[in-house]
Structure 1
């Protein structure tokens, strides 16, 4: 399913990547005599890196009676023992330095099973990677003993998917794909199916579908295409093709109906209300090949562009997706924010659809978008010299039955561009909205009133045209709305009282008359954008604030238009201005991140200032009612009870919460705004990254920020309990035990070196934990270790999570603890060298990311009061050596302060 904004500037799925440089990447394709199709991308900038994807064109949709979940089980079993690898293919890779998840991984979908390899030593391991694929494609007889062990891994994975989002998404997927094989169950299958599955069944499935003539191979890296093709033929050419089963095409497509209908999604733990309107239709032409396929995909793109424009200008709180849900079936889905209530969301969908119907595309709009696409096609490279982009492009094209955007294909596509007319665009949109298969999906908490109780036929309501609407010309409507939404001018009474400049890092430091500070970084990689971050010193644990009420106040105000904002839709104005706004409230600080073009800096500052000085709680009653409905549901849910148990484990008491829903409903708009007034008055430091010199920015910063009223904020510290402990709570509903282990330790000697080494060591710790807990013992799933430096508190906090069988939980935790405790003493020089190389590769990407520059600037300034972090960057890779890593690794785990919670199955 494709989210439309990604399609905006591209003519087809083949153009879903924004290419950066001239066409340097070479593309070669071929098919071996045994039917295996291969695609080779020579990417000069890849250096030694190599990525391979092997796709078997069979998945969960190909399972027959008695085979539920077997495609996914087969994916697991190909890494087990065989005559060629008696100890197991996965174990051999682990022994040779491959890390599961990082260097080899696999995924099973409904239509395919994909095996991804990123060899640790890159292109020199091409032959070894192809040998792995040869083993995967070789006929198999799986060992029942191997399945007994691997079955626990699959069950662990199943338990990991029994979360609220997974359960809700499964229901939604079944509705969207109703009538097709894909609607039956999730690819992993049911618990019962996994528990009763047999190794022999997986073997039969493998030998029925895993043939060279049912596989597609992608190889990408800085490799010689001819030598790579020869290696593919040498390693995979002797495989024998198989007789593939016949597929009944109709079974794989959703069954379209002529009756509009309403369906509901429920879950005992759900506290959210969401609505979507789904149109399903035949779209075989848009998925065809050749010039007609390009034409219809371009026509879809033009039509989606018009739909997006109408929503931006009239109903910006409604979003949509256009995509394929079958090889012959498409869908157009509208989503409404239901925070203000289900009926209001339904009305928004109604207005959105009617607006699109009543405002057809004009010739000028179509011509303007054609020009955008024409310029794009003429200025971008056919294939980017960028390995991650090429890998994504290959997944979106050759592994999805789409053409690669070679120069010849681009020429073919460009030839269809001028066939697109406004009349054709309007006809396509009308066809989508006239689809007889229409579905309203309502997701709501189980204790709320069904929307069907208010409207017996929501779909019929969606087809009614409002009496007071008229067909407004699109251009006129856009102009009228863009001038209606604005902020009043602000002359500014504050000023800059002091400033200094770091010429080495091009960083300016400003002090405002209200006590706030600004740190400005001039960086060319920011390009045409401004990156703005405001960090306020007060969080929801400030003295004088009620914690849970402060969080509700922040939720209400941060999603409302400021009181002095003109017009009816802030979101619409932000889209027109190109402003992205994100606000987060933590226990000890607040962060506001805003991105905008350089031309809209003043609008950015107007928006921020208005939130601080002229707040509005907007539809605060809906915020309160939503919270009141959510409160009892969440507290009784498994995630809610787990959260409280973790708070007791770490702090000795739960976080502040309302006693009941009545206490929440008793809040008033005045209560919320009073809490926000204190939150917004906390002293603040601003960080700005842009390509502009500071002289261009300082006057506007002083005008809008230097006179915002401030007062000192004092946060109540979050005290973590000392000492080690292990607790168990029987509240899990998945049949397994979740292990959540935390530790912390003080650390005072923070340096940029330490901050960069910790993430690398976390990567190493995860590899060892996964190897021991999953690959060797094969009894855990969902292993994830994190370590979070907190310089403000002079400590490091670490967390390990995984799930396992209840009877093995204690033993598994002891294994994990030993790995974490022994990590510092046994980091090898080879591992240190690999981590240094990983840092160099990752740093090359980070250097081109202005958001990372801004984060580092803020971290350095908050810790040191200057930009020394940035000064150290060119030399940091030299500190990633064995002795230094061993020393830093001691920060990752502190057994004296290890607090462990085992969430066992409910009794």
Structure 2
């Protein structure tokens, strides 16, 4: 619950930046300085010799690296140093529009043939094949298999088509207008967008950024003449502003030749337009803005101190960057401690130094404090308390003990990266090369970075870190922003009060006191049990152990990661066993495991385990309870110890529990301001048939929650662990784990009871149901359609349902987006459950204009009817089979897949060799089988229609 609140608050902060739907936002170029610290001399960080960097005669840059994780795969990217800042006044939004057109027809791939070709090769549109546009850059990504020569070579042809061969047919341009307008609607038309439009003149004041949001102007997107986007493409898509990045399981020299063959013919304009860099001016006086909106749910205040910065190129840059990271970490730990206290004056608070507004403006950083308060009346107090922490660090600095904690954690991460250097995913290398091309940041090798990190850690002193901390609060370039519900408008602090809070926050602060607990996690080792028997499970290359207390342990060693062991466990029961009078308390049992363990609250536990990769925790879900954790092999005993501690010595913390409940009450009191929240609650209630145990939590529910009951329920669920099954996956030797298993798992308490979960009858309604929610201020509708029912849960049936879902998803996308131009990203979902009762749900969901709701629902159901009448097309079945095969190849070399797969098989009573049969089951998917499956399961006997439209 606390985690959800934190995510929500961070999401609000993100929306304070810039409303720019449909594209990621990365960090661009560079400029002058306004706040400086003493310059530290350094040397240039050398590029990794394992990446081949070159440039064609036409100016195109390329990066090539051989990397075998994942095997038989490559990551191909086209990066361009152009974005919305390059648009003329009559082209606003056309950089992003051009990105869309790259998928709608090119010289070698007319119409949608590029997408069709890649889907047949197992590349998924959206999940794999994708692109984004920002102010300064547009980037295209294409993960592709390398074991098919033709497909692999075609990948470079596709990149070259994006780079200089997009056709821009007038008919396709006009069809795409509606899609982009719907993209804007899907990601906007809400409180965040409305408030962002008021914030932009402040946050981007006096710069070109203010008038060049990548989404552009809707009126212009609806009416621009075709030559405007064609001119943009001709002017800016040119090789001297582009880079090809290729990382994967291939021959480097062969890839270099493919790049030369496909890109050498591209040319630059005879008179190229200059690519200008744009800056954001300084402000001497504080910039202040208070904004309210009827649909805003929380009172949020932010203070930013803008500062000039730069990318990491030298060892001095690296050292400063590491010190900023340490400051962020130590401030974060201090806020964690405050948030555990019942008298914390905010629901959420965070202070950190980083890129200004997510890196939108080149070379501009900010030291930023964000707080969320319960009411408008308490916002000023919350802001002062949040700012006081940075003032405390400014006046008194940090402690050596705090610095040692963060140093240990950095060192542990550094050690792990080195050990995993030959198992590093290709995508992580791509990001480094993108940053080098787009920003000029260094590309250090893993070995060099390891040595530099260790050397720098040893050099950094507490005095240096505290000196840097003193530079973060500046007298100029201050920005204060408040976002709040309209209902709280009268109680909000004024601009003058906000400025006064900024100046007075440091008054009376005292030095920080470390609350570390200096004792071992376990006071003594438990009395060990025994491994009674073991047997080989050849189907999955595992060993099953039976322990003296009845617990079973499955061990599956792998070599997918060098420094990773992950595990989880389960036994039946969960919150389903709580009585109807106590289930609200039982559902809050997660707060027990989130309160720390034994004598250690969460912040003290983090300090105790600094530098230790071993971690574990407990959980109680609806049907199961158990543990999960991870560790590097050297720290695995710590993870075992944590399992034992959470099982036998849980922490009952009144202050943490009450603070969470208090915060949750604020969340519930405000959530109905948000249309999406009201809609989600309606969907949840209807799908639960209004069974109280399946309904959304209410304020009155919170009043029934008791810490004593929650703690007692937790203790009961972990009092008898004899039916637990543990699954371990990763790089370990079974014989080395066995002593820990005997000591910490075979010693867990057991009462030899037979336990099971209970079906409490939280089932969806039968028949045809329609619910319309009227909520929201703007022309934005949301639709969710459910086709569901009971069925026989078998692997064969599940595969047929998956194939049907994949085919329907293709058809819904083609119809609603490509043909109707009425949606941006429709979704077709499939959920199948075996326990407590076998049931399936097909869902079709999308957002659209209010006027188009009925037309698009009819179109979606028409596609359902067509697939029932004819089955999936042979071409769509081929796409499904290719994608499934490619995903399985990746999954079988992934520890998380195996942990989930083994656990799922054991819980559902399925054979562990099921994965070996999947290929044969997939081959049985045919046009006729999908027709039969559609006829049986896409029926409207149980059909639920949900629609959200603006309030009348």
The TM-score, its normalising length taken from structure 1, stands at: 0.79
Match of 1:204 among 222, 225, 231: 231
Q: Is the 8 A contact 1:147 1:199 kept in 2?
A: yes
Higher mean alpha-carbon deviation, 273-282 vs 339-348, is at 339-348
Task: Determine the structure 2 residue equivalent to 1:521.
Answer: 555
Alignment of 1:343-358 (within 5 A): 343=381, 346-347=384-385, 349-351=387-389, 353-355=391-393, 358=396
Task: Determine the structure 2 residue equivalent to 1:463.
Answer: 506
Using the alignment, how far apart are the partners of 1:147 and 1:58 within structure 2?
20
Q: Is the 8 A contact 1:581 1:592 kept in 2?
A: yes
Q: Kindly indicate whether residue 343 of structure 2 is the aligned counterpart of residue 322 of structure 1.
A: no
Using the alignment, how far apart are the partners of 1:520 and 1:728 within structure 2?
49
Match of 1:397 among 436, 457, 467: 436
Distance 1:447 1:521, change over 3 A: farther
How far did 1:870 drift?
3.7
Q: Is the 8 A contact 2:689 2:763 kept in 1?
A: no
Match of 2:924 among 882, 903, 906: 882
Q: Deviations over 1:756-814 (max 9, x none)?
A: 78667655553443234323443322222222221112222332222344433133212
Q: Deviations over 1:476-532 (max 9, x none)?
A: x5xx7141796777979xx9799654432312345859xxx5545353568564634
Q: Deviations over 1:527-569 (max 9, x none)?
A: 5646344556233794323665654x44654544568657975
Q: Deviations over 1:378-403 (max 9, x none)?
A: 95798877433333433343344333
Task: Determine the structure 1 residue equivalent to 2:279.
Answer: 253
Q: Kindly indicate whether residue 860 of structure 2 is the aligned counterpart of residue 813 of structure 1.
A: yes
Task: Determine the structure 1 residue equivalent to 2:783.
Answer: 739
Q: Deviations over 1:204-253 (max 9, x none)?
A: 3222322222222223334443443333333322222134434553xx33
Higher mean alpha-carbon deviation, 695-704 vs 208-217, is at 695-704
- Gaps in structure 1 of 5+ consecutive residues: 4-10, 17-22
Q: Kindly indicate whether residue 816 of structure 2 is the aligned counterpart of residue 798 of structure 1.
A: no
Distance 1:832 1:245, change over 3 A: closer
Match of 1:57 among 60, 63, 81: 81
How far did 1:877 drift?
3.8
Match of 1:719 among 748, 763, 787: 763
Q: Is the 8 A contact 1:156 1:781 kept in 2?
A: yes
Distance 1:370 1:44, change over 3 A: closer
Match of 1:109 among 123, 127, 134: 134
Distance 1:417 1:151, change over 3 A: same
How far did 1:31 drift?
2.0
Alignment of 1:821-900 (within 5 A): 821=868, 826-827=873-874, 830-831=878-879, 834-835=882-883, 837-846=885-894, 849=895, 851-864=896-909, 869-874=911-916, 876-883=918-925, 893-895=937-939, 896-900=941-945
Task: Determine the structure 2 residue equivalent to 1:430.
Answer: 470
Task: Determine the structure 2 residue equivalent to 1:77.
Answer: 101
How far did 1:739 drift?
2.7
Alignment of 1:674-753 (within 5 A): 674-675=709-710, 677-678=712-713, 681-682=716-717, 685=724, 687-689=726-728, 691=732, 692-701=736-745, 703-706=747-750, 714-725=758-769, 728-731=772-775, 735-751=779-795
Using the alignment, how far apart are the partners of 1:658 and 1:672 within structure 2?
21
Q: Kindly indicate whether residue 518 of structure 2 is the aligned counterpart of residue 483 of structure 1.
A: yes
Distance 1:137 1:323, change over 3 A: same
How far did 1:75 drift?
1.6
Alignment of 1:367-516 (within 5 A): 372=411, 386-405=425-444, 421-422=460-461, 425-434=465-474, 436-439=476-479, 445-448=485-488, 449-450=491-492, 457-464=500-507, 466-467=509-510, 469=511, 481-483=516-518, 501-504=534-537, 505-509=542-546
> SS of the residue aligned with 2:652?
coil
Distance 1:607 1:497, change over 3 A: closer
Using the alignment, how far apart are the partners of 2:533 and 2:191 within structure 1?
49
The TM-score, its normalising length taken from structure 2, stands at: 0.76
Task: Determine the structure 1 residue equivalent to 2:581.
Answer: 545
Q: Is the 8 A contact 2:568 2:727 kept in 1?
A: yes
Higher mean alpha-carbon deviation, 215-224 vs 703-712, is at 703-712
Task: Determine the structure 2 residue equivalent to 1:643.
Answer: 680
Q: Is the 8 A contact 1:315 1:352 kept in 2?
A: no
Task: Determine the structure 1 residue equivalent to 2:262.
Answer: 235
Match of 2:125 among 94, 100, 107: 100
Distance 1:631 1:303, change over 3 A: closer
Task: Determine the structure 2 residue equivalent to 1:785.
Answer: 828
Task: Determine the structure 1 residue equivalent to 2:21.
Answer: none
Q: Is the 8 A contact 1:533 1:592 kept in 2?
A: yes
Q: Kindly indicate whether residue 708 of structure 2 is the aligned counterpart of residue 673 of structure 1.
A: yes
How many aligned residue pairs are there?
A: 862
How far did 1:114 drift?
1.5
Q: Is the 8 A contact 2:822 2:848 kept in 1?
A: yes
Using the alignment, how far apart are the partners of 1:30 and 1:208 within structure 2?
24
> SS of the residue aligned with 2:655?
coil
Q: Is the 8 A contact 1:315 1:351 kept in 2?
A: no
Higher mean alpha-carbon deviation, 354-363 vs 773-782, is at 354-363
Using the alignment, how far apart are the partners of 2:728 and 2:406 within structure 1?
36
Higher mean alpha-carbon deviation, 756-765 vs 428-437, is at 756-765
